[in-house]
């Protein structure tokens, strides 16, 4: 009986940790997507390159902080793909290339959505 209780406590601890991280991750991913949609993409389309660069640097710094914990829960390959996309986007924004910047920002947004959906607990991910 003692082993069962210890196992049960460990199970609840794992589920609690996973649940807390899922909520945190959901908020951060939506924060990144909203920043891309509402700030950075708008600034790129308007040609406000200084503001787009500043907003993107803020997103990049926040991503690197988030990535330190995400690597324990998400696929490293998917995180690396998002990193590559961030690097390309940064270059395009610094080059003031509006079409490539917009395209890569849209790609990054979809990668972040896919990263979150692919790692969430759902029937399609379990099968």
Q: For the full predicted model, state whether its pTM sits above 0.85.
A: no
Q: What residues make up the domain containing 45? A: 21-120
78 in any annotated domain: yes
pLDDT of residue 122: 63
Q: What is the mean pLDDT of residues 70-90?
A: 89
11 in any annotated domain: no
Count of domains observed in the chain: 1
| Dihedral sign (CA 126, 33, 88, 56) | negative
pLDDT of residue 76: 86
At 37, which helix (H) or strand (E)? Answer: none
Q: How many helices (H) and strands (E) does the chain have?
A: 6, 0
Report the CATH number at residue 55. 1.20.120
Residue pair 71/87 in contact by the 8 Å Cβ criterion: no
86 in any annotated domain: yes
Q: What is the pLDDT of residues 13-49, one digit of tens each?
A: 988 888 888 888 889 999 999 999 999 999 999 999 9
């Amino acid at each position: 009986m003692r082993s069962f209780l210890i196992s049960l406590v460990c199970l609840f601890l794992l589920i609690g940790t996973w649940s807390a991280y899922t909520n945190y991750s959901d908020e951060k991913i939506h924060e990144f997507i909203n920043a891309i949609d509402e700030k950075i993409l708008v600034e790129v389309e308007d040609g406000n390159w200084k503001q787009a660069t500043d907003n993107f640097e803020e997103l990049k710094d926040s991503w690197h902080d988030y990535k330190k914990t995400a690597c324990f829960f998400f696929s490293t390959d998917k995180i690396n793909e998002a990193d590559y996309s961030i690097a390309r986007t940064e270059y395009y924004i610094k080059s003031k290339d509006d079409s490539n910047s917009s395209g890569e920002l849209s790609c990054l947004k979809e990668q972040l959505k896919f990263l979150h959906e692919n790692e969430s607990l759902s029937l399609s991910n379990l099968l």
